[in-house]
Structure 1
Amino acid sequence: MKIKFTKMHGAGNDFIVIDAINQQINLTPAQWRQLADRRFGVGADQILVVEASEATDIDFRYRIFNADGGEVEQCGNGARAFVRFVTEKKLTAKTELKVATMKGIIRPRLEADGSITVDMGAPVLLPEQVPFDVTGLSSTDVADDTLWPLQINGRTIMMSALSMGNPHAVQIVDSVDNADLALDGPAIEHHVRFPNRVNAGFMQILDRHTIRLRVFERGAGETLACGTGACAAVVSGIRRGQLDTPVRVETRGGTLSIAWNGGTSHVMLSGPAVTVFEGEITLPAED
C-alpha cells in the first residue's frame, strides 16, 4: 500500500499529514505505529488525516492518531499544521475554516502574517468530564482554580485537571529543566484516576505573561511542544491568579501564544506551522 504524505511541524511538535480526500486511507493501529516510528517509518509525534466533511456547513473532518496507533480527540499544534496543509495543497481558498474533530468543531484561521490562530473552544473544568476520578480526594482552592492531590512515585503532587478536547493534568514546577518527565510523565499519564489516560504538563512561571512548559503527551511521550497542553497550562495559571492573558508559552521547540479571558470564553492558540518535506511510503499489507 502506497501512501503520499507531508511531514510538518508546529514549534517542533512533528506530524505526518495525509490527504484522505484524494487517496483511500484505511490503516490498522499497527500501520499507524509503523508510519510514526522514527526508525522503521517516517517518524512523528502524531499523524493527521484530512478528510472531506459529510456536513455542508463544515469544511473538513480532521482525525489524529498518536505514535502508539491510538486515535485521539484533539491536537492544537496539529490544527495549525492542518490549516497550512489544506492551504498549500489548494484544498481550500478560505482563510477561516470550520473543522470537525472527534471532540467537536474547531475554527482555525490563517493570519495575514502567515501565523495561524486556532479557536480551541472553552476549557472543560468539571472532573467527571475530563474525565478524572475524584472519589475520596480532598481538593484545595487556589483563587478560581481547584487543585487535586495525585499520588505518583511515592509522593503527592498538586495539579489542575481539565480538558481542552483531550485530558490534561497541569502542575507548577520550580524549573522545567529539573523536572523528571521520564519518571513522572508515564506515572501521571497512566494514573488510575484518569480512565482515558492524560497529558502531563509541567509549567514554570517566569512572569505574569510568560511561562516555560514541557508536556509528556498521552501515547507519544515528551514532545517538543503541545498546543492543547499550552492552552491547559495557561488556563490553569490564569485560574490560579498567577498569569494574565495573553501568555507567551516557551517550549523546547518554539514559542506559542495563548489568550483566554476566563469563564466560558474560548481559548485562542497562535503559532507557526511549517512544511518540512513531502514523500511516499509503501506499507506492507496486514495479514
Structure 2
Amino acid sequence: MATPYIRMNGAGNDFVVVNALETAFRPTQEQARTLGNKATGPGFDQIIGIEPSDGADAFMRVWNSDGGMVETCGNALRCVGWLLLQSTGRDAVTIDTLGGLTTARRAGPDQVTVDMGRPRLRWDEIPLAEEMQTYGIELQVGPIDDPVVHTPGAVSMGNPHVVFFTDRLDDGFVRGTGSLIEHHPLFPEGVNVGFAHVLAPDRIRLRVWERGAGLTKACGTGACAALVAATRRGLTGRRATVEVDGGELQIDWDQATDHVLMTGPVETEGTGTLSL
C-alpha cells in the first residue's frame, strides 16, 4: 500500500513527514533504513510519523536514516508544529515525543518557535556511563598531552549531546571526530556530537554529527545544546543566533522558566508516496 508523505526542511534539516493520525505508520528498522537511502528510497535525515496523542495535539515519532528510532528532533518539531498550526488555524499547539512534551507557536511567515523545555544537565539525565560534572566532561580526541579537542559540555535536550568548542569545522574533521565519539562507551545510548565556534557573545557557528544520521545541514536540539553549553562556560549570553549549514536558528535559554526556546524557518518542498 502506498503511503503519502510531505517533504519538508527546517534550516536545511531534511524530513519526510507521514500523517499517521488515522492509519498507523511503523516501519521496521530495515524499512526505515531502505527509505532513508536515496538509492533505494526518497532519502532523508529523519522520517517523521505524526500520530494521535491522548495528552497533546499529536505525537511525533522519529526515525533516523540508519533506521533507528530516536527521542526527538528540534527542527522536525517546528515542521510538525507548522503543519498542525496550519490545519487547526490556532496560534499554538502541543506535540508529545519520546523525549517529552513541547509547544509550538507561530513566529511569523514560515517561522515557528518551539519550547524545547528544560535542558537536562545531570550526568544520569544525559545519560553518561559514569558520574561526572557535565559543563566540561572528561573526554578528549588526540594525544593525551596535546588533544585536538577536549572537555566538551554534555547536555540532553530530550536526546543526548556533547558540544566541543573549536574552530575546526571542516567536513573531514567533523565526520572523523563525530563518528568516533557517537558510539563512545561513555554514552550508553549514543550521542549527537556538536562542534561550536563562538563568534561573538550572541553568535555561534555550529556543525553537528547526528547520531544515526551523520553530518546534516542543521540540528535543532544540537543548536539548543550548543547555546546551553556555551552559556554554562561563560562564552555567550543566554540568547544567541546559531549559524548552521542550512540557515540560522534563534536560541533563547529563558532565565525565568529555565526553558530553551528555538525559533527558525520551515519549508515545504513537495509530496510523494512511500512503499513499504
TM-score range (shorter-chain normalised) is over 0.9
**What per-residue deviation string (whole Å, max 9, x for no partner) do you get for residues 56-86 of structure 1?**
xx21111111111111111110101112223
What is the match of residue 149 of structure 1?
Answer: 138
Q: Detail structure 1 runs of 4+ shifted over 4 Å in the superposition.
A: 153-156
Counterpart contact for 2:15–2:44, Cα < 8 Å:
yes
Which shifted more, 224-233 or 174-183?
Answer: 174-183
What is the match of residue 240 of structure 1?
Answer: 233
User: Within 2, Cα distance between the matches of 1:263 and 1:218?
Assistant: 31
User: Within 1, Cα distance between the matches of 2:221 and 2:49?
Assistant: 18
**Unaligned runs of at least 5 residues, structure 1:** 140-144
User: Within 1, Cα distance between the matches of 2:242 and 2:90?
Assistant: 28
Alignment of 1:208-227 (within 5 A): 208-227=201-220
What is the match of residue 129 of structure 1?
Answer: 125
Give 1:151 shift.
Answer: 4.0
RMSD: 1.8
What is the match of residue 35 of structure 1?
Answer: 35
Amino acid in the other structure paired with 1:44:
F
**Unaligned runs of at least 5 residues, structure 2:** none
Q: 1:146–1:26: structure 2 CA closer, same or farther, 3 Å change rule?
A: closer
What is the match of residue 72 of structure 1?
Answer: 70
What is the match of residue 95 of structure 1?
Answer: 91
Q: 1:197–1:242: structure 2 CA closer, same or farther, 3 Å change rule?
A: same
Alignment of 1:100-249 (within 5 A): 100-134=96-130, 146-152=135-141, 154-155=143-144, 156=147, 157-177=150-170, 180-249=173-242
Counterpart contact for 1:84–1:274, Cα < 8 Å:
no
Counterpart contact for 2:228–2:238, Cα < 8 Å:
no
Q: Please state whether the residue corresponding to 1:180 is helix, strand or coil.
A: helix
User: Within 2, Cα distance between the matches of 1:27 and 1:174?
Assistant: 39
User: Within 2, Cα distance between the matches of 1:177 and 1:68?
Assistant: 23
Q: 1:172–1:237: structure 2 CA closer, same or farther, 3 Å change rule?
A: same
Give 1:181 shift.
Answer: 1.3
Q: Please state whether the residue corresponding to 1:98 is helix, strand or coil.
A: strand
User: Within 1, Cα distance between the matches of 2:240 and 2:51?
Assistant: 32
TM-score (norm 1): 0.89
**What per-residue deviation string (whole Å, max 9, x for no partner) do you get for residues 254-274 of structure 1?**
111100135861000000010
**What per-residue deviation string (whole Å, max 9, x for no partner) do you get for residues 80-99 of structure 1?**
111222344x2x22220111
Q: 1:101–1:93: structure 2 CA closer, same or farther, 3 Å change rule?
A: same
Q: 1:20–1:178: structure 2 CA closer, same or farther, 3 Å change rule?
A: closer
User: Within 1, Cα distance between the matches of 2:120 and 2:43?
Assistant: 31
Task: Give percent identity, aligned residues only.
Answer: 40
User: Within 2, Cα distance between the matches of 1:151 and 1:212?
Assistant: 21
